[in-house]
A and B are shown apart, each in its own frame.
Chain A
Amino acid sequence: MIMREFALYIFHLAFFPGFIFLVASGMFFHWIDRKLLARFEGRVGPPWYQPLADIIKLFAKEDILPIGTNQLFALLLPLTSFASTLSAGFHILGTLTGTVSSFNGDFIMLIFLISLPSLLFFLGGWTTSGVYSILGGNRSLLQYFSYEVLFIMAISGTAIASGSWSLAGIFNAQSGSMPYITLQIAGFILSIAGLIGKLKRSPYDIPKAKSEMVMGPLTEYSGGKLALWKLADFLQTLSGIALIVYCYFGGLWLPHTAIGYVIFILLMLTIQFILSIISAVFTRLRIDQLIDLNWRILIPLSLIHNLLIMIL
């Protein structure tokens, strides 16, 4: 019995909904994003195996870093980013499929795990000593402070309304009545904006903008470490989108059923579609316009929104 449980445990961790499934889903969503962007721009777009081919190619490349970088940190930072987003994704998808049970406070844990890579991104630029890396890292830190706050405040609206800090509690509060998307449409829009800032997608992609700071903090990384950063990016996107779908569309699917999974995946694809459209249509904002937009408009809106939720 114990052996069987142990085997099942390893199966869940490694395959479904663990490591292999998460990495494959992350690559799938990244491919959808690139294909959509290409079609919006009038191009054809890459084939379905492109993200996999990129990651495999990166692992085969030479891995060199400039003199003066701390080699241990340069390895630990991408590894930790990957590990934290992997854990976040595992928890969300596990709660969906029933392999992991949601505990009180896991909402906050998830927010922490999803936002950890952004902080490590800045540190990654700091440890590789190069002009582009350090300057890019400074700007990414500014963006991190602003848009993490926005995301947390916006998505906490659902937690406040449901009265609990666990995913299961948020879900249960919606399954009886209407999903939160209808009541908290403003919060939904604000958390999408926060997510775009967190994921450093256009129009908030200054840290990664090639025409400004070459690659920002990731300029000096190559080979396996760059592959790990990219994988962390894929999984951050996946976890962020899954969290938003969980919190705002709670009552729409029934857990542990096939139709429920299909609806969940369709909702995630819809949000990915929205993110890609926004990337295609807007220019990259300057750092001051970005901070201005955030602190003057978006955060006050989310404050008012949360206050209204608490009152009503």
Chain B
Amino acid sequence: MTICNALCELKNISMTEEEDLLPSFNENQVLLASGQLLEAVVILLKNDVKHLSTITGVYQENKLQLLYHFWQGEGITLRVVIDVTDNQVDSITDLIPGALFYEREIVEMFGVKIKGLDMATRMFLPDNWQGGAPMRRKLEVGSEEEMQEIK
């Protein structure tokens, strides 16, 4: 019930017209603009959907999709599409403190900046890592570049 209510409310604020362009997905999903993220999380919390499973980043053709996977009996995913160079996404750690590590990982691996998140130290990458955002690189299997990495 809670997911259905939340879904209905979210559909009101989402960009429903572009949803047909999304790939097939096995859970409920809502496409949002980056500025609507906090509003959507507030709606979810109001409808008793409290558990954030993880935040996934998908980098495709210079655009970064952030998927916020929630779960309460059923799954629901919030999808936000941003440009990598702008930092338009707010941090949701004020509402859900458990999102901290997931957001830090997105910042480190994809090179975005999330507003309101202070990255004093790195979490996964070494302190002296200079290589840029790891998840945005293109590596083919067996390529010269991949072999270089192994050396």
User: Do A and B touch, yes or no (CB under 8 Å, in the complex)?
Assistant: no
User: Which A residues contact B (CB, under 8 angstroms)?
Assistant: none
User: Which B residues contact A (CB, under 8 angstroms)?
Assistant: none
